[in-house]
Amino acid sequence: MNRKTASTVLLLGILFLNGCGEKKKDIETPKKSETLSLKEAFSEDFLIGVAINNRVIEETDTLAVGLVAREFNSISPENVMKWGELHPAPDVYHFDLSDKYVAFGEKKNMHIIGHTLLWHSQIGSWMNEVKDSAVMSSYIENHINAVAGRYKGRIYGWDVLNEALNEDGSLRESIFLKVMGEDYIERAFSLAAKADPKAELYYNDYNMWKPEKRAGAIKLIKKLQTKGARIDGVGMQAHWSLSGPSLEDIEQSIIAYAELGLKVMITELDITVLPNPWDLEGAEISQNFEGSEIMNPFPNQLPDSVQIQLAERYENIFRLFLKHKAKIDRVTFWGVNDKVSWLNNWPIKGRTNYPLPFDRAFEPKKAYERILRLKK
């Protein structure tokens, strides 16, 4: 074999080996998962949101951050935008975390919700000392202008007013109602519309499925509409249980709010698997049930039988949401996973609850699988 022939053989051998190497690499490359995320599965139906805490906002909990980015396309702040956190004194604002929250949403290309501009709970303690209507009105104006104005054009929608109704549909005797009368409601929505004209404006409350409370909410909304105040949607807080509310009550409420010309949001969704102390005759939760085995039946893990119940409940609820997807704009879970759920500590501290589709190790539960099964 002459030198030229040997060189040719060597070159062909190198090319062959490289080709084999590429082929082997292709074979060993793992296939991309065909499993849809929640946001992908429901992309043509409604947004899938989640409430996030400080550890997600500051990106210190990398597992939670990854889960949020993968599964959800909308975020709500669990606490950082509530009045007491953001505005603890008349001339003091703490915008550090709320700035990071909005920046996080923009970085991850999320639908950003502001929660909440006006709520009687978790408010600056100094507000509870106000007795004069003009002073109260001025404080509300300053707060909404400062907060909504700061994020003008960056927040998709604001929960302007939170939990202003009693269970019978009457207006709650909040500090705002006591000092200003019911005019504070229209004032809040008008101020928010002016501070951020492009943001959607919502009323948000729990037990909005109850007929009496639903009637009260409709009355409140119609009064705002009659006065010309802008309101774009209603948030039905969905802190529900394995047994209630009924699908019929939920459905009737979705239809009723949509008939007002409003978007319907399912907000703060979680499903408790634990007993409710108020269902027990003579229950006094402040004294009787701390550390109670009756009230904390699953301290270590959720039995398979209850996992199945939870999965079926979520599946039935999401089937209803899909039935009315033309009316529903967003479904937001209240927490990333079971570990961070507020239901571990309410209404009794120290309980172990399992109300969300992801467990304490960020793994999807049967509930997650049953929700996704609806889209297959």
Would you name the residues annotated as active-site residues?
268
Distance CA 121, CA 222 (A): 25
Residue type, 52: I
Distance CA 246, CA 250 (A): 6
Residue type, 67: L
Any idea what the Cα angle at residue 12 is, between residues 7 and 17, rounded to 5°? 125
Token couple for 181: 């009368």
Q: Is 15 exposed, middle or buried (0-12, 13-18, 19+ CB in 10 A)?
A: exposed
Token couple for 175: 């500090």
Whether the Cβ atoms of residue 314 and residue 322 lie closer than 8 Å to each other:
no
